[in-house]
Amino acid sequence: MSESTTFTSLTATERLQAVLRGEKIDNSLISLWKHFPLQDRSHSAFVERTIEFQEQLNLDFIKLSYNGLYGVEDWGTAIEWPTDAFNVAKVVDYPIKSVKDWNTLNTLPLDIGALKRELDYTKEIVAKYQGKVPVIATIFSPLTIAWKLCGVELLEHLKANSDDLHRVLAIITNTTTNFAKELIKIGVDGFFFASQLADFDKTSWERYESFGKRYDLIILNEINNKTWFNILHIHGLSPMFNELKDYPVHAINWHDRTSNISLKDARALTDKILIGGIDENGVLANGTDADLSAHFKDALDQVGDNKIIFGPGCVVPLSIPEEKLILARKIVEKLEVN
């Protein structure tokens, strides 16, 4: 490969692999992801919508937007499903009310229910894009799954430092690891490992290290040598970035535009690929073409190298028309990398 490789001469997979190797390409990379609330529990509809989204935007990786509650559906969570395209599913009754309730959970099978549904989706999407566009499956940290099973009461359970909670986190870890292994067999290129509790606004590092990190690493160490592009997503406005920066992943995504860790801060802490630079609720939603161009240029200037993939801090709001996302993609294609 030459010192600088033309954007259009490479597949998305080749572009991303070039950046991983530290090589320069002529244009910046971008991926965007959003939920598909009316399609994400229907096999054919979800596959069709995912493909349509990718074909419209020509993204540099596909982050599979599974139903956000797939990890807790089969553990007895009461869910209100959306009836329009502008709202996502929400929990209306948590199955875990007390610390002792954690004893009711057991490892989930993969041949029935929500986990089988997501595996079946993934097979078709991987079959279409394998070798051309990286397909990245979404999995949640065990403590995040516990949060989705219990809600804000989980924070009190953490303070109790209960063996019951450690027992269930081991079960959730086992279920998630089994799910990830099946996804690897299918052929995903990597994982979007999302942690919603690695946030100082929710808990302390001492508690996260005990109840979060120890289980995160079991999963991440399992997938690390079997996939080539894994992303850590740290959710929240006070992310434990420095504490998690050495996780065995290739890239880190967080709310860089609205949290207390900027792209510039992050680049001083790690040489991993940074995924961000887009304020999905601000400039992406409301900015002009000129605003978007300046926004992206600022992100490049903060990072100072080409190890950045433009992406949102979290999912793109459903209210943003996809024409705006197509525009953002076109602007990024015209940007010169550092």
**CATH code linked to domain 4-23+34-277:** 3.20.20.210
At 338 the pLDDT is: 63
2, with CB counted inside 10 A (0-12, 13-18, 19+), is: exposed
d(CA 166, CA 223): 22
Nearest residue to 28 (alpha-carbon basis) of 270, 307, 291, 325: 307
At 26 the pLDDT is: 82
Residues in the chain: 338
CA pseudo-torsion sign 252, 30, 303, 279: negative
Task: Show Cβ contacts of residue 147 under 8 Å, excluding neighbours closer than 6 positions.
Answer: 154, 196, 197
Whether 134 contacts 14, CB under 8 Å: no
Cα-based distances in Å from 158 to 65, 161, 169: 29, 5, 12
Whether 328 contacts 33, CB under 8 Å: no
Helices 214-224 and 163-186 pack at an angle, to 10 degrees, of 20
The tens digit of pLDDT for each residue in 95-104 reads 999 999 999 9
Q: Quote the radius of gyration of the chain (alpha carbons, Å).
A: 19
- Give the position of tokens 């001083």: 268
Low-confidence ranges of the chain (pLDDT < 70): 1-8, 337-338
d(CA 3, CA 24): 6
At 334 the pLDDT is: 86
Task: Show Cβ contacts of residue 185 under 8 Å, excluding neighbours closer than 6 positions.
Answer: none
Helices 43-57 and 113-129 pack at an angle, to 10 degrees, of 40
Whether 234 contacts 195, CB under 8 Å: yes
Cα-based distances in Å from 266 to 16, 26, 255, 276: 20, 23, 11, 11
At 193 the pLDDT is: 98
The tens digit of pLDDT for each residue in 129-180 reads 999 999 999 999 999 999 999 999 999 999 887 899 999 999 999 999 999 9
The per-residue b/e assignment along 101-124, b for 16 or more CB within 10 angstroms, e otherwise, is bbeebeebeeeeebbbbbbebbeb
The per-residue b/e assignment along 215-232, b for 16 or more CB within 10 angstroms, e otherwise, is bbebbbebbbeebebbbb
